[in-house]
Every structure is written in structure tokens, then in C-alpha cells.
Structure 1
Amino acid sequence: MKVLVIRFSSMGDIIYTTPVVRCLKKQLPDAEVHFITKPAFKYIYDNNPYVDKLLLLKPELSDTIKDIKAEQYDYIIDLHNNLRTTLIKLRTGIKSSTYKKQTIRKWLSLKLKLKLVPPVHLVDRYMKTVQFLGVKNDDQPIDYYIKAEHQLDKLLPVSHQQSFVAFVIGATHFTKRMPNEKIISLCKEINAPIVLLGGNDVKENGDIIASALGNKVYNACGVTSLDESIYLVSKAEKIIGFDTGLTHIAEAFKRPIVSIWGGTVPELLGVQPYKVKEVLVAGIELSCRPCSKFGLATCPLGHFNCMRQIPEVPITQFVNNN
């Protein structure tokens, strides 16, 4: 049997496909399991032992369809369910099973502020697509495989090499990020060295936070590569982060996680931390929340209370508790 699993984007959505691929390969050991995604997300499946071949989406869909036809798959497992994957299934004629997005329910939940989407994790919804093959969820965390050998003494100052808390301060959209002053307030109450993680887009934020807190905080934003950042997350005592890819990848390393949510909510997306034993999901109930499904550039009402008013004590107690 030869199976192609499809998910083109984004980082968080792809990382949650890894249990599906693992269960397919382990429970159908004679099957050949391939995965296709965009080139930008290739790194998520690099080194993954459960994938026999990794295909990449080409600029012209017709070229991708040719590649897929040439492989002569028995089944397509469509975990994206968009126009492109629909065209792929139609033009190849390969038997398929498709993830149900619940688009209308999600839209109504967002617009009417009603909880119309069942609180089922994205992984569990993905797993339904392979039930017809007799594949069941193994109830294990997501998979991520660090690409290279790294050393803490090459990445962190001596003060942070023995034990540290990783704080992922980056996120694609403003309404997913906590304001600098709120992060500073939290960090003041954390009884451990702190490493700030994120890309170049939040390096300046990290500098502001680090300058306010002195040597307690090391700003690695824009300094470490993605693989190095993931390595640091894997070595952290505990992790604090927002609704962003690096926070979701952190779930692979069995570390306690604080998952902080502002304008977005985990139940709408089904992406709360998966199979993490020690987790705190932080967010507050507001009539205006969620304001969007994936995040916005500004708070629509200007107050940003969804982040500013999150209670700090439960977060700092969780982090400080041994």
C-alpha cells in the first residue's frame, strides 16, 4: 500500500499532522507513507523516521499533480481540504479521505460568539481521516526531530546554561502577542533565568524586555536559528508562549507549558497543547473575544484587554512551582 498525506501550511497545522503519519507507519508497517507540503515547511518533516518520502509543492500545480500521478498512490489523506487539494484529488482520480474543516461552524462561532465547534483537538479530527484503514490514535504527543547537534554553551551565557525558562514572545499577529510591559511584569515574578525566543520581528521587543530586567533575561530573538530555538525549548525547564508555531513544536519535548491566548481561542482552532502532562492554558472571557480566527494587526476596539487583563499570578505560580 502507498499513501500520500497532504498538508501545505501552516507550521502549527503541519506539526499536528505528525501523529497521523506516525500511526499510519507504525500500524501499517508494510505501507509506504509519503507527505507533501510547501517548501517553507519542509523542516517539520526533515529527519522524521515515519515518512518514507517527502514531496514539495511546486509553483505550478500541474507539475505537482504530475509528480503525484507518477507515484501511483493507493490513497490520498487530505488534511488540508482546500481548492488545490480538491483539484489534486479530481485530476489524479486517487481514492481519498478528507479532513472536515467545519468552516461554517467556525465562522458562526466567531461572528456570533457562540461555541458551535465541539472541543475536539485538531489531531483527533485529523485521525478520523485514517480510521477507514483501521488506524487508531496512539495517544502520544506530536513528533519533532531537531536537525543538528547543538550545545548550550554555544547558545547561552553561563548564567543561563544550568536551568532556564523559555519565553516565546514572537507570533505572526499583534493580537497573539502580549505587550512588552506585561511580559516584563511576568518575568519579574519568575524565579529563574529567562531566555526570550522569537524571530527578527520581535528582536527589538526582546531588547526592551531584557534591558528592563537586566541579566536575569537573555534575548535570543533574531540571534538563534529556528533549529537552535527549538533545541533551547527542548532544554528549558518550562516554556511560556503564545499561539505560534514554536510554542506548538515545544509540545514534542514533554516540558511543562504555559499557553497564553489573546484575541484567538484554542477551542475554535482545536490547537490547545496536545498530550502535554503539565499545561496551563491562560486567557480571559470577554464579550469581544475571539476577535478573529488567526489574529489581527491591531485590537479592533483599541483596548487589547484580552492580553492586558490576563491574571499573572496563575502563570507565575505554575512556572515557579517545582
Structure 2
Amino acid sequence: MGDIIYTSPIIRCLKQQLPNAEIHYLTKSNFKFLLDYNPYITQLHLLKPKLRDTIKELKAERFDYVIDLHNSLRSTLVKIQLGIKSSTYKKERFKKWLALKARINLIKPDHLVDRYLKAVEFLGVINDGKPINYFLPENTPSLPEIIPDYYAKPYIAFIIGATHFTKRMPNEKVISLCKRIELPVILLGGEDVKTNAAVISEALPNKIINLVGQISLNESVTVVKNAAQVIGFDTGLTHISEAFNKKLTTIWGSTIPELLGVQPYQVMKHYEAGVTLSCRPCSKFGLSACPKGHFKCMKDINEDLIIDFIAHE
């Protein structure tokens, strides 16, 4: 999700700076919802079960250029088959391997958006310096429909979902943080963290509103959009929250934002919470368990610094 979300400034810059261009976007069907309502996209194409069928569909469009922001084997095959001028985002795979395995970090801390933009420089497209975009459908329920008892009160949205265990803060540490936050806290996340949410909300029944696994992603986005502040782990909804320029606290465990260039983008007030350790990062995308067994990257995060950031303007 995050990789696709960070393509939104490139789509916007292309369309606004080359207004007569048609912009078509190819992705997997399970990411369709992220792009359906983007007004800068002329047409959305979804990968078919057989790649040759996808390529046949694309050839019929008679494109002028291919901009490859994925740089995978599949996208390379698409470029070769279309046989037209192309430009590709450089992933710097070897440098990432060196950073993870040899602790030799040669990667510049450029944001993924800026890395993507290099692929469209040849068209004269430049960064407009604006945040990412996320477009909600018109039929998304309003905040009073989602949280009727709290919609008029300031609250903090805490996104506790993340695909991998090493990107999630332990329940007891989340509980400790929430105890110290003055505002009500709304928990957000998917089915995979429903058990975590139950433990956290049970510990603080008068402080926590638990919506984990109970509302859709776009309803969760609405809750985030209207929050006073947002706290989140390294996960898609946290990155989506950047579209609304909320005061944002991001919490990082086994992953580091600089490696993949996914630090908060164009957010006026943000704090990145993490711990400097010789074993961190241990992964680009997170793991199912701490390889060392101690999980210090999350357990040793300084709660005082997070609370200080949340409490002050």
C-alpha cells in the first residue's frame, strides 16, 4: 500500500504539468481501491491472471511512454513487450542489502516520492512540494455515522495495525502510552490486530474507543482525517494519514524509514520514534519475530519523548 500511496504526487505532477496527457495506471486488483477515485488518472488497468492478456490490452492503447515505478520482473516484461520509450525507478537493491547485511549504509535519505520523481524528470516534470493525495468516495459514511458519541470531541487516532509483528509496539507499551495521553484515543487497524486491540481497550475502557476490525479502510481514513493528532506504526493507513497533514507520531521497530524512503512526507509537525541499535534495521519490511529475541527496538522506545511531542503545540 505504501509504495502505491507515494506514487500519488507523481500522478498529480504529471497531470498538472502536462495537462493534455492521458495517464493510465497499471496495478493489481487488490490495490484498486487506492486509485479508484483519483481524478488525475485517465484509466486504471488491472493485472489479469495471464500477463500476456494484460500486455495485449495495453498495446491497444498505443502509449507514448512507460513510467515504471515498480521495477520488478513483471514490470520489466511489460516494458519489453510494449517496446516503447520507458523510464524506470531505481531501487538500489544492492545498497539496501549492504545496509541490512553488512551495516554499510550508502543510501541517501531521499524520500520515495523524490526517488520516483527522477523517473519523470525527462518529461520536464518537477516536484510541486505538496503532500500525498488520498481521495475518498462520496458515499463514505460521515464521522457522526462512524463515531456518533465522539465526532464532536477532539481525539487521537492510534493506528495499531501493521502486517508484521516487529513493526508493532507491544500491547503493554501501547497501554502505557495511552494512559498518559490526555485526549480520548481511537484504535484503528485490521482483523490481524483485533486481539491486540481487545487487550488494550480492556485495560483502559474509559479512555479507548476500539474500532479495530469493525470499520472499512475508508471509514478509518475518515476517522484519521478528523483526528486532532495521529499515532501510527509503519503501515499503509499511517502513510495515508499524511495526506491530511495532521500532527503525526510514527513509531518504528525493526524497520527504519530512511532505508526505503518512507519517512513522513510534507507533514508540518511529525516525530519519528525509534531506538538506535546495532541490530536495527533487521529487515526492509518487518518480520514475524525478533531475530535476537529481545525486541529492544520497540521495548526500549522512549515514551517520554512521544508524550512530550503529543502534548506540545
TM-score category (smaller protein): over 0.9
Separation in 2 of the partners of 1:257 and 1:146? 20
2:49 counterpart residue number: 59
- Do residues 223 (structure 1) and 214 (structure 2) align? yes
8 A contact 1:113–1:289 mirrored in 2: no
- Do residues 199 (structure 1) and 190 (structure 2) align? yes
- Do residues 111 (structure 1) and 86 (structure 2) align? no
Residue correspondence of structure 1 range 47-86 to structure 2 within 5 A: 47-86=37-76
SS at match of 2:23: strand
**1:204-256 C-alpha deviation (Å, 9 max, x unpaired):** 11111011011210110000111100111101110000110000000001101
Cα drift, residue 44 of structure 1: 1.1
Cα drift, residue 158 of structure 1: 1.4
Q: Percent identity?
A: 58
Residue correspondence of structure 1 range 164-203 to structure 2 within 5 A: 164-203=155-194
2:295 counterpart residue number: 304
- Do residues 15 (structure 1) and 5 (structure 2) align? yes
CA RMSD across the alignment: 1.0
1:89 counterpart residue number: 79
- Do residues 127 (structure 1) and 117 (structure 2) align? yes
**1:141-160 C-alpha deviation (Å, 9 max, x unpaired):** 00001123322222225146
The gaps in structure 1 that reach 5 residues or longer are: 1-10
Separation in 2 of the partners of 1:193 and 1:157? 14
Letter in 1 for 2:291: P
8 A contact 2:140–2:218 mirrored in 1: no
8 A contact 2:159–2:231 mirrored in 1: yes
Separation in 2 of the partners of 1:16 and 1:223? 26
Letter in 1 for 2:226: K
8 A contact 1:160–1:194 mirrored in 2: no
8 A contact 2:140–2:219 mirrored in 1: no
Separation in 2 of the partners of 1:159 and 1:81? 44
Cα drift, residue 162 of structure 1: 1.4
**1:256-307 C-alpha deviation (Å, 9 max, x unpaired):** 1101100000011100000000000110100110011110000001110000
SS at match of 1:132: helix
8 A contact 1:34–1:53 mirrored in 2: yes
- Do residues 238 (structure 1) and 238 (structure 2) align? no
Letter in 1 for 2:281: P
Separation in 2 of the partners of 1:164 and 1:276? 19
Cα drift, residue 174 of structure 1: 0.2
8 A contact 2:185–2:208 mirrored in 1: yes
1:318 counterpart residue number: 309
SS at match of 2:206: helix
Separation in 2 of the partners of 1:112 and 1:213? 43
2:29 counterpart residue number: 39
SS at match of 2:205: helix
Letter in 2 for 1:309: D
**1:80-104 C-alpha deviation (Å, 9 max, x unpaired):** 0111011111111011000000000
Separation in 2 of the partners of 1:156 and 1:38? 32
Cα drift, residue 56 of structure 1: 0.6
Cα 1:160/1:188, change in 2 over 3 Å: farther
Cα drift, residue 182 of structure 1: 0.4
8 A contact 2:154–2:227 mirrored in 1: yes
Letter in 1 for 2:197: G
8 A contact 1:160–1:193 mirrored in 2: no
SS at match of 1:214: coil
SS at match of 2:264: coil
Task: Provide TM-score, normalisation by structure 2.
Answer: 0.98
1:6 counterpart residue number: none
Residue correspondence of structure 1 range 150-169 to structure 2 within 5 A: 150-156=141-147, 158-159=149-150, 161-169=152-160
Separation in 2 of the partners of 1:318 and 1:156? 26
Q: Which moved more, 1:149-158 or 1:273-282?
A: 149-158
Letter in 2 for 1:253: F
